[in-house]
Amino acid sequence: MDDRFEAVETLGDDHVGGRVTADDGARLWVDVHGRGRPVLLVHGWGASSAFWRRQLCLADRFQVVTLDLRGHGRSNAVPRGHTLERLARDLRDVIRALNLDRAALVGWSLGGSVVLEHLRLFGAARLAALGLVESCPYPFSDAPWNGHRLRDRNMAAMEEDLRRMAEDRTGYGNRFVDGMFLSCRAPAHGRQWMLAEHLRADAGALAALYRDYARRDLTPVLPAIALPCLAMYGLARHVRAGGSTGRFVAGSIPGARLVTLEHSGHLPFYEETDLFNRELSAFLSHLP
């Protein structure tokens, strides 16, 4: 780690939390658990690093790194930089500050687009593998594989989402959390803390980022990926991605492996934790 990382919390020998200063001055919250090959987990829109809590057990074999994207969780709310390109630069700053090498980048939902944007901008330096979880590389696409509710450049649906969020953050947040589960209803053990994490995110940052994410076509990046890749998708047809998107993404990346979690919606790492963790651990263990 270098002087761009400021340790704030040390909880035992193998857990440190602190802030990385991005090259534009934003302060990004990062947690580092365990030792071994680094695995950097990137959360989705309106969420936080807390959503990866069920993957922290992987720290007995790997170095599990989670961060809060700018405007989310414990990272600073700043009036700028709420684009995929800036978030990809934030990833680069975190990788450099923590001196991560041969790392696996795993992105969920919008986090998958951040991972792809990082690869587009900076190539595969310091990386060993990619993971894409319930990630849609172009929400506005009119292609048959796209199950996103914004498909076919549905600007009206996007603006309606953002209007509802602005008018009633809590009501919107409850619907947002419910919709990520296959049953369309969050379980009691997840609803309260997931809603709280969603409400921590800055509303202005969320709106700006959503607009940029929806318009960004990252499908041309997929065929050029030369790293080992694991694609993990649920059956979230009513939410964001789902099986058809997973098949398209994995089929577009040379040699990618697709795992479909058939009892999950948009949160396969939470709804089918054991299977998700086994598949991710096996993938990481077999990397060269």
pLDDT for position 237: 55
**Domains plus CATH for the chain?**
5-285 (3.40.50.1820)
pLDDT for position 205: 96
230 CB contacts (<8 Å, ≥6 apart)? 129, 130, 131, 132, 256, 257, 259, 279, 280, 283
Other CB atoms within a 10 A radius of the CB of residue 123 amount to 12
For all residues of the chain together, what is the average pLDDT?
A: 94
Q: Three-state SS for 152?
A: coil
pLDDT for position 104: 98
Q: Does position 153 have pLDDT exceeding 80, yes or no?
A: yes
State the burial class of residue 178 (Cβ atoms within 10 Å of its Cβ: 0-12, 13-18, 19+): middle
Q: Does position 217 have pLDDT exceeding 80, yes or no?
A: yes
pLDDT digits (tens, 9 = 90+) for 174-198: 999 999 999 999 999 999 999 999 9
CA 28 from chain center: how many Å?
A: 15
Q: Does position 10 have pLDDT exceeding 90, yes or no?
A: no
Please state the rounded mean pLDDT for residues 25-36.
96
Q: Which residue has the higher pLDDT, 76 or 223?
A: 223
Indicate the pTM of the whole model. Answer: 0.96
User: How does residue 236 score in pLDDT terms, banded at 50, 70 and 90?
Assistant: low
> Minimum mean pLDDT among 82-86, 216-220, 226-230, 239-243: which range?
239-243
- Asked if 21 and 30 touch (Cβ cutoff 8 Å), the reply is no
Q: Does position 239 have pLDDT exceeding 60, yes or no?
A: no
pLDDT for position 22: 96
Please state the rounded mean pLDDT for residues 113-126.
97
User: How does residue 111 score in pLDDT terms, banded at 50, 70 and 90?
Assistant: very high
pLDDT for position 238: 55
Q: Does position 225 have pLDDT exceeding 60, yes or no?
A: yes
The fraction of the chain above a pLDDT of 70, given in percent, is 98
User: How does residue 240 score in pLDDT terms, banded at 50, 70 and 90?
Assistant: low
d(CA 88, CA 12): 30
How far are the Cα atoms of 27, 91, 96, 252, 262 from residue 23, in angstroms, in the given order?
Answer: 10, 11, 11, 33, 41
